[in-house]
């Protein structure tokens, strides 16, 4: 599963000039949860890494008898989640081992966290250790070479928060510094040799940042179409990692 052009080059650029996102954007947004669904078996143990106030899976979406544990570096984020979000939670840094979590989980989930860690290598090694043999990890993260990642490394965090509030109506408190350590396709594949299977799925989703400008929307749509057609996976804006211990 990957982002693919929903129409021809001219059609997508024409839609973008009219202020519309390509149809593939809706498909990409659904793809992560679609991948999660087959692993939601009764009684499974799930670790949600970095979700804080917003768990990846709402309580009503979880299977019968599921144990759902949250891990986040900020206690305030975990305690700010709605009642019933977690069966239990652990305050900890995913880049550092948490022995109490080792070998406990059938499924580990992470949604838009791993671009914020200082060491993706250490994070994935720890996630590996928290899984039972045959367990599965599903994570989505932003790519290092996307235009917003490149801009974010030179624009101060305060300015980034202001820009995202204007462009996407984002709550400034939800915007955290990002490091993008090893956040591109070939690097992810290189640092995961111990996993029995690793799929790195490129997602092209940069237009969501540009809806205030039709000219930029059309220009980026053309760029993304070129990237997908040429299989330039290292330039994708986001990735889904689907890995088995």
**What is the spatial distance between Cα 113 and Cα 52, in angstroms, rounded to a whole number?**
10
**pTM of the entire structure?**
0.85
Here the CATH number for the domain that contains residue 88 is: 3.40.50.150
Assigned domain for 39 exists: yes
Question: Is residue 164 scored above 50 in pLDDT?
Answer: no
Range of the domain at 84: 9-244
Asked if 103 and 129 touch (Cβ cutoff 8 Å), the reply is yes
Assigned domain for 1 exists: no
Least confident interval from 78-87, 150-159, 163-172:
163-172
- Determine how many CB atoms are found less than 10 A away from the CB of residue 235: 20
Assigned domain for 2 exists: no
**Number of structural domains the chain divides into:** 1
Interval 46-103: pLDDT, tens: 999 998 999 999 999 999 999 999 999 999 999 999 999 999 999 999 999 999 999 9
Interval 116-143: pLDDT, tens: 999 999 999 999 999 999 999 999 999 9
Burial of 37 (0-12, 13-18, 19+ CB in 10 A): exposed
Confidence at residue 151, expressed as pLDDT on a 0 to 100 scale: 76
Number of alpha carbons in the 13 Å side-chain half-sphere of residue 192: 25
Assigned domain for 27 exists: yes
CB burial readout 44-62, b (16+ within 10 A) else e: bbbbbbbbbbebbbeeeeb
Assigned domain for 123 exists: yes
Q: What phi and psi values does residue 204 have, to the nearest 5 degrees? A: -110, 105
Q: Which of 43, 109, 104 is nearest to 72 (CA)?
A: 109
């Amino acid at each position: 599963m990957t982002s693919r052009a929903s129409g021809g080059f001219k059609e997508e650029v024409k839609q973008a000039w009219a202020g519309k996102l390509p149809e593939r954007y809706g498909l990409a947004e659904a793809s992560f949860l679609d991948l999660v669904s087959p692993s939601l078996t009764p009684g499974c143990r799930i670790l949600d890494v970095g979700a804080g106030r917003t768990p990846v899976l709402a309580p009503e979406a979880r299977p019968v008898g599921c144990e759902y544990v949250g891990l986040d570096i900020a206690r305030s984020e975990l305690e700010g989640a709605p009642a019933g979000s977690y069966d239990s939670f652990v305050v900890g840094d995913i880049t550092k081992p948490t022995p109490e979590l080792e070998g406990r989980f059938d499924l580990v989930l992470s949604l838009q966290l791993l671009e914020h860690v200082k060491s993706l290598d250490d994070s994935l090694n720890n996630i590996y250790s928290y899984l039972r043999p045959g367990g599965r990890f599903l994570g989505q993260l932003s790519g290092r070479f996307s235009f917003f990642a490149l801009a974010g490394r030179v624009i101060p965090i305060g300015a980034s928060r202001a820009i995202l509030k204007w462009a996407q109506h984002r709550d400034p408190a939800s915007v955290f510094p990002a490091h993008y350590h090893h956040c591109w396709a070939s690097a992810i594949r290189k640092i995961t040799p111990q996993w029995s299977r690793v799929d790195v799925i490129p997602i092209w989703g940069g237009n969501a940042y540009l809806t205030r400008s039709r000219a930029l929307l059309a220009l980026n749509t053309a760029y993304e179409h070129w990237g997908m057609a040429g299989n330039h996976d290292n330039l994708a804006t986001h990735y889904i990692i689907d890995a088995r211990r």
